[in-house]
Amino acid sequence: MEARIDKLDLENVMACPDCDLLLQQVEVVRGQKALCPRCGHMLYSAKKDSLDKTLALSFSGLILYLPANFLPLMTLDTLGLEKSGSIYDGVISLYQHRYFFVAIMVALTSLIFPLAKLSLLFLVSLALKLKFYPRFLSLCLRYYHHLDEWGMLEVYMVGILVTIIKMYHMAHIQYDAGFFCFIGLLWVALGSSVVLDEHLFWRLIEQKNS
């Protein structure tokens, strides 16, 4: 077993995270992705200009973040009574009704983690773009990796749609600025995680450290 490893160049060898199979890395071109031959895990795919695109999208996300979460999403109008609310108001309302655990979870998944993800991604891609390698760079990328599934903007978007359909017959709905900003934020945030090439980012960090 040891002899086989010596023959392989450790730089071009990778292991499947799902089944631990040792694999030789291959080049993929645009539109291709590398799958594990044993368990079918998507190992990596070809991504062009990942660094520039990630930087641009995460920056746009940060601009949209405040209006998307703090401006009212929509206004309901029933019998002359009007009520509007933002995503932030949803958290505060849960808190005021003493559902602390639910309020914290909603705050984390819809407000705090999406912001943390965008900020970390922006920081890392900006630093790599400027060829500036502070020590906390790898820590930032690690935190991003762990937070990835805990930001739930797209789930919230479906939640907004369900709310609209629920209220459609009962009240007149007027869509406010927050609604459109949120759709923008969702697209940009999803885009930033799609264009991010974690393998490339780690390689760039490693090149500098060694």
Partner 1 sequence: MMSDFLTAREAGLALCQDCHKLIPWQVQHEQGGAICPRCGADVHLRKPHSISRTWALVITAAILLVPANVLPIMEVDSLGSAAYSTILDGIIYFFEEGSYAIGIIILTASVLVPCFKIIGIVLILLSIHFRWKSWLRHKTLLFRVIGFIGRWSMLDIFVIALLQVLVNFGYLTSIESAPAATYFTGVVLTTMFAAITFDPRLLWDA
Amino acid identity, residue 135? R
- Toward partner 1, which CB reaches closer, 34 or 56? 34
* Residue ranges in 173-192 that form contacts with partner 1 under rule CB under 8 A: none
Is residue 13 within 8 Å of residue 22, measured between CB atoms?
Answer: yes
Q: Which of 28, 34, 67, 84 binds partner 1 (CB under 8 A)?
A: 84
Minimum distance from residue 62 beta carbon to partner 1 (Å)? 22
Cα dist from 149 to 12, 53, 103, 108, whole Å:
28, 21, 19, 12
CA Rg value for the chain: 22
Is residue 31 within 8 Å of residue 39, measured between CB atoms?
Answer: no
Amino acid identity, residue 137? L
Is residue 32 within 8 Å of residue 46, measured between CB atoms?
Answer: yes
Task: Count Cα atoms within 13 angstroms, Cβ side, for 14.
Answer: 16
* Residue ranges in 127-156 that form contacts with partner 1 under rule CB under 8 A: 138-139, 141-142, 145-146, 149-150, 152, 155-156
* 97 touching partner 1, by CB under 8 A: yes
The residue range among 3-11, 57-65, 120-128, 189-197 that interacts with partner 1, by the rule CB under 8 A, is 3-11
Minimum distance from residue 47 beta carbon to partner 1 (Å)? 15
- Toward partner 1, which CB reaches closer, 60 or 181? 181
The residue range among 26-34, 55-63, 102-110, 126-134 that interacts with partner 1, by the rule CB under 8 A, is 102-110
Is residue 63 within 8 Å of residue 185, measured between CB atoms?
Answer: no
Distance (Å, whole) CA 150 – CA 106: 11
Distance (Å, whole) CA 41 – CA 77: 49
- Toward partner 1, which CB reaches closer, 56 or 85? 85
Q: Which of 162, 164, 170 is nearest to 78 (CA)?
A: 170
Q: Which of 116, 163, 176, 193 binds partner 1 (CB under 8 A)?
A: 163
Distance (Å, whole) CA 121 – CA 198: 11
- Toward partner 1, which CB reaches closer, 54 or 60? 54
Minimum distance from residue 26 beta carbon to partner 1 (Å)? 16
Q: Which residues bind to partner 1, rule: CB under 8 A?
A: 1-2, 4-5, 10, 13-15, 17-22, 38-41, 73-74, 76, 78-79, 81, 83-87, 89-91, 93-94, 97, 99, 101-102, 105-106, 109-110, 138-139, 141-142, 145-146, 149-150, 152, 155-156, 158-160, 162-163, 165-167, 169, 198-199, 202, 205-206, 209
